[in-house]
Amino acid sequence: MKKVAFVFLSFCLFPYCAGAFGLTADQMYRNLLTDENEGVLPAYYTRSAKKQARLDFKRVESVSEKVWTEKHGELPDPTDTNIFETGDTENWQEIVKAVKNGQTTPFDLETIRRRTQADDAEAVELLAWMYATGKGVRQDLTKSWTYYLQAAHLGVPSATDNARAVYKAMNAAQRASLPAI
């Protein structure tokens, strides 16, 4: 009897618990779809007649941001492409050595990807090599081929030969998935 009463009460109290964050399941699903589709709610999921607005949470400054600000001043702008031109070459050489030794950390990988997005030829070639060999990331020959082509476009002399070697190592399904050039 106690179990039945407990189950009954839990179902009665569920709507109050579900609304604790101020979001209904429908609003959470809409937010998820909007995030996955770059800020646009897909056409197959039509909005209700109410035209509910997307709910966002207010950004709160974290403790780590306060500590960083006290020690170093303002946080660096993540969209700044010149962030790597300030002379952080010693750290970059340590990252290259870590990749070579197979001791890549997630922070190293994030640094490599940021430098790749900033069109750093050395970082693009390193990421292509990582995808080709599977060191630090899961081996993916199609991504490796793409990054080697980008490196060739940036002027890396051996990138074209490496892209050719990666292409030869691919199976038929991987070659079929490559974008047409």
Query: How large is the average pLDDT for residues 123-140?
Result: 91
Please tell me whether residues 114 and 148 are part of one structural domain.
Answer: yes
Q: What is the dihedral of CA 24, 26, 31, 32, to 10 degrees?
A: 110
Q: Which domain holds residue 144?
A: 81-176
Tell me the two tokens of residue 1.
């009897």
Is the pLDDT assigned to residue 43 strictly greater than 70?
Answer: no
- C-alpha span between 112 and 115 (Å, rounded): 5
Please tell me whether residues 88 and 13 are part of one structural domain.
Answer: no
Please choose, from the candidates 21, 22, 44, 41, the residue with its C-alpha nearest in 3D space to the C-alpha of residue 31: 41
114/28: higher pLDDT: 114
Is the pLDDT assigned to residue 86 strictly greater than 50?
Answer: no
Query: How large is the average pLDDT for residues 53-63?
Result: 55
Please tell me whether residues 97 and 36 are part of one structural domain.
Answer: no
Q: Which residue has the tokens 């082509």?
A: 149
Q: Among 2-16, 52-66, 166-180, where is mean pLDDT lowest?
A: 52-66
- C-alpha span between 131 and 126 (Å, rounded): 9
Q: Of 11, 42, 57, which residue sits at a domain end?
A: 57
52 occurs within a structural domain: yes
Model confidence band, residue 54 (pLDDT cutoffs 50, 70, 90) = low
Is the pLDDT assigned to residue 23 strictly greater than 50?
Answer: yes
Q: What is the pLDDT of residue 125?
A: 92
Question: What is the domain count for the chain?
Answer: 2
Please tell me whether residues 119 and 164 are part of one structural domain.
Answer: yes
Model confidence band, residue 112 (pLDDT cutoffs 50, 70, 90) = very high
135-169 pLDDT, tens digit each? 889 999 999 999 999 999 888 888 889 999 989 99
69 occurs within a structural domain: no
The answer for residues whose C-beta is within 8 angstroms of residue 123's C-beta and 6 or more apart is 112, 115, 116
Please tell me whether residues 101 and 139 are part of one structural domain.
Answer: yes
pTM of the model: 0.52
> Vertex 33, ends 30 and 35: CA angle to 5°?
110
14 occurs within a structural domain: yes
Is the pLDDT assigned to residue 48 strictly greater than 60?
Answer: no
User: What is the three-class DSSP state of 119?
Assistant: coil
**Helices 89-100 and 121-133, axial angle in degrees (round to 10):** 10
Q: 82-121: b or e for each residue (b if 16 or more CB lie within 10 Å)?
A: eebeeeeeeebeebeebbeeeebeeebbebbeebbeeebb
Exposure of 42 in the CB half-sphere (CA atoms within 13 A) = 9
Q: What is the pLDDT of residue 61?
A: 58
